[in-house]
């Protein structure tokens, strides 16, 4: 075939003599397909000028070559490109973050809010895959910001989950609601807490996110961060005035969830921000009940137990309850942390005599 030899003049002569421009060989391949696969731009142009059909397989071949000039040539003759082929090309361009092609396709009429097989729009794909430049083009060209995935995740939810701060900032700057609800009424701030994206907490709050927004289960972002043990996120939320004592549907506070998860560092952080250590849930259990039921001697990264943390924070009631606890496991009074200090030694270092008296009277 002439298309295999990059002989554009021969191709032109054969076409003038009545050759079918879209004829397929035994492999189902057209002359245009062969020319595109080999990057023969002059031959491609001759075939396109003759009206050769541009189908999705041709687009696939062009993308596999990663040749923007070849793809631009196909776009110049895109009158023969069906809307479905244009949309297919748009999604492929986004996946490779070929933002110039994304812009050209939209300018040629590709539907910027079309859905792929997974029911994602181009912008949702760009956010999930962190294709920043393509997302920028889509946003600037008016792609819908409020479309959601089948599981109700918005573009902002996906950007936050992926840690794509630049995309999240663009979405917020275009007026997308920072509290847009996702599955179970999760906000993007809940997603940041769930996936430990501390770098996005301030961005979201500055963009209007409510620190104490709740899901259908009445969970705040602080509840989520506390249960997952994401200390950095919890710390940022607390510094931005998150309510430390909000209760969920089970009447559990963030401290209940941190204690239940056996996370001493989180427990200490919450206590330092005045978490109520005597708050009771629907079963009348305090955080200390849950800590003792779970792992009363759990260790954090510094080998501190809950008792070490309570002593360091100077919480007399917590220390007293842990030391005297008799239901199930007992607090190890001799446990040493990474500094080789026992809970008593930590209590002594706080210069709070009342704390040390608890140990001596036990």
At residue 133, does pLDDT exceed 90?
Answer: yes
In this structure, are 108 and 140 located in the same domain? yes
Q: What is the pLDDT of residue 306?
A: 77
- Number of compact structural domains in the chain: 2
* Residue 2: band (very low, low, confident or very high) from pLDDT cuts 50, 70, 90: very low
Evaluate whether residue 152 is within a structural domain: yes
* Residue 30: band (very low, low, confident or very high) from pLDDT cuts 50, 70, 90: confident
Q: What is the pLDDT of residue 37?
A: 74
Evaluate whether residue 233 is within a structural domain: no
- In angstroms, the Cα distances linking 332 to 265, 292, 307, 308 are 17, 12, 8, 10
* Residue 138: band (very low, low, confident or very high) from pLDDT cuts 50, 70, 90: very high
Evaluate whether residue 356 is within a structural domain: no
- Determine the structural domain holding residue 88 and report its residue range: 82-176
Domain of residue 2, CATH code: 1.25.40.20
In this structure, are 165 and 100 located in the same domain? yes
In this structure, are 75 and 86 located in the same domain? no
Evaluate whether residue 264 is within a structural domain: no
In this structure, are 33 and 72 located in the same domain? yes
At residue 122, does pLDDT exceed 90?
Answer: yes
> Where a domain ends, among 176, 202, 225?
176
Q: Which of 50-54, 146-150, 194-198, 249-253 has the lowest mean pLDDT?
A: 50-54
In this structure, are 102 and 165 located in the same domain? yes
At residue 4, does pLDDT exceed 50?
Answer: no
In this structure, are 113 and 167 located in the same domain? yes
In this structure, are 66 and 40 located in the same domain? yes
Evaluate whether residue 251 is within a structural domain: no
> Where a domain ends, among 47, 79, 111?
79
Evaluate whether residue 252 is within a structural domain: no
In this structure, are 89 and 171 located in the same domain? yes
Evaluate whether residue 351 is within a structural domain: no
Which pTM value belongs to this model? 0.75
The three-state DSSP-derived secondary structure of the chain is: CHHHCCCHHHHHHHHHCCCCCCCECCCCCEHHHHHHHCCCHHHHHHHHHCCCCECHHHHHHHHHHCCHHHHHHHHHCHHHECHHHHHHHHHHHHHCCCHHHHHHHHHCCCCCCCCCCCCCCHHHHHHHCCCHHHHHHHHHCCCCCCCECCCCCEHHHHHHHCCCHHHHHHHHHCCCCCCCCCHHHCCHHHHHHHCCCHHHHHHHHHCCCCCCCCCCCCCCHHHHHHHHCCHHHHHHHHHCCCCCCCCCCCCCCHHHHHHHCCCHHHHHHHHHCCCCCCCCCCCCCCHHHHHHHHHCCCCCCCCCCHHHHHHHHCCHHHHHHHHHCCCCCCCCCCCCCCCCCCHHHHHHHCCCHHHHHHHHHC
In this structure, are 105 and 135 located in the same domain? yes
In this structure, are 152 and 91 located in the same domain? yes
At residue 244, does pLDDT exceed 80?
Answer: yes
Which of 8-17, 32-41, 58-67, 254-263 has the largest mean confidence?
Answer: 254-263
In this structure, are 69 and 110 located in the same domain? no
Evaluate whether residue 314 is within a structural domain: no
- Mean per-residue pLDDT for 76-83? 74
Q: What is the pLDDT of residue 134?
A: 98
> Where a domain ends, among 53, 79, 105?
79
- Mean per-residue pLDDT for 58-77? 77
In this structure, are 62 and 96 located in the same domain? no
């Amino acid at each position: 075939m002439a298309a295999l030899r990059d002989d554009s003049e021969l191709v032109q002569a054969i076409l003038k003599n009545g050759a079918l421009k879209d004829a397929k060989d035994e492999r189902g391949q057209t002359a245009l397909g062969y020319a595109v696969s080999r990057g023969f731009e002059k031959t491609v142009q001759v075939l396109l000028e003759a009206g050769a059909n541009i189908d999705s397989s041709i687009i696939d071949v062009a993308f596999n070559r990663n040749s923007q000039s070849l793809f631009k040539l196909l776009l110049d003759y895109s009158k023969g490109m069906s809307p479905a082929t244009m949309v297919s090309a748009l999604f492929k361009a986004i996946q490779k973050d070929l933002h110039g092609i994304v812009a050209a396709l939209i300018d040629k009429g590709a539907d910027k809010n079309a859905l792929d097989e997974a029911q994602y729009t181009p912008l949702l794909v760009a956010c999930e895959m962190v294709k920043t430049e393509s997302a920028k083009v889509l946003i600037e060209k008016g792609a819908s910001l409020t479309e959601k995935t089948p599981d109700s995740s918005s573009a902002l939810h996906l950007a936050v989950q992926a840690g794509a701060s630049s995309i999240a900032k663009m979405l917020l700057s275009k007026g997308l609601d920072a509290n847009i609800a996702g599955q179970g009424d999760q906000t993007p701030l809940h997603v940041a807490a769930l996936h430990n994206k501390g770098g996005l907490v301030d961005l979201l709050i500055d963009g209007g996110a409510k620190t104490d927004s709740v899901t259908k289960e009445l969970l705040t972002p602080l509840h989520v961060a506390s249960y997952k043990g994401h200390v950095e996120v919890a710390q940022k939320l607390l510094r931005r005035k998150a309510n430390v004592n909000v209760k969920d549907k089970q009447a559990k506070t963030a401290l209940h969830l941190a204690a239940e998860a056996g996370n001493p560092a989180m427990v200490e952080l919450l206590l330092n921000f005045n978490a109520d250590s005597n708050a009771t849930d629907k079963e009348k259990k305090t955080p200390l009940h849950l800590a003792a039921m779970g792992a009363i001697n759990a260790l954090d990264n510094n080998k501190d137990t809950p008792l070490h943390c309570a002593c360091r924070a100077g919480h007399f009631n917590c220390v007293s309850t842990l030391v005297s606890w008799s239901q199930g496991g007992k607090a190890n009074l001799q446990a040493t942390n990474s500094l080789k200090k026992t809970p008593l030694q930590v209590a002594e270092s706080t210069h709070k005599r009342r704390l040390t008296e608890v140990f001596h009277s036990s």
